[in-house]
Amino acid sequence: MKKTEDRPKNNAYTLFLGCTVPVRTLNYEIAARKVAGALDIHLHDIPDFSCCGYPVKSISHHAYLLMAARNLALAEIKGHSICTLCSSCGGSLAEANHQLQEDKNLRTRINEDLYQWLGLRYEGEVQVLHFARILHREIGVKKK
């Protein structure tokens, strides 16, 4: 498993837009892409990303973890950690990532369904970071 302090290679991330950013805060996406480009942070798209799972979490924890693990597995295939713009998506994906990294039995059960239904596996080799955290880590804070 990667440690959370490990930095992704080449400042490259997969951009997770979730279901809200494209329809409610498109300006945030546009601004994030422009800022990232200016700072040499590479944001890659994965068109197959879906909802983070947060809306179903209170109904079915298993369904929530499956939805999150699917997105995490897609990012792993690309070899980049996830950059989120939505705080709910970031928290939801990070929580699922942590649960699945720490609980091997849970990861095994989720992976069985992921593989059976989608042909995917989650290995726990991805980080989830909000864009603001990436800016803080990669650029830092200018002190007076």
Reference 126, options 53, 66, 74; nearest CA is 74
**How far apart are alpha carbons 29 and 15 in whole angstroms?**
9
Query: What three-state secondary structure class fits 83?
Result: strand
User: What residue segments make up the domains of the chain, in order of their start?
Assistant: 10-137
**Stated pTM of the model:** 0.88
The CATH number corresponding to 10-137 among 3.40.366.10, 1.20.1050.140, 3.40.50.720, 2.40.50.140 equals 1.20.1050.140
* CB atoms closer than 10 angstroms to residue 26: 11
pLDDT tens for 95-144 read 999 999 999 999 999 999 999 999 999 999 999 999 999 999 877 876 55
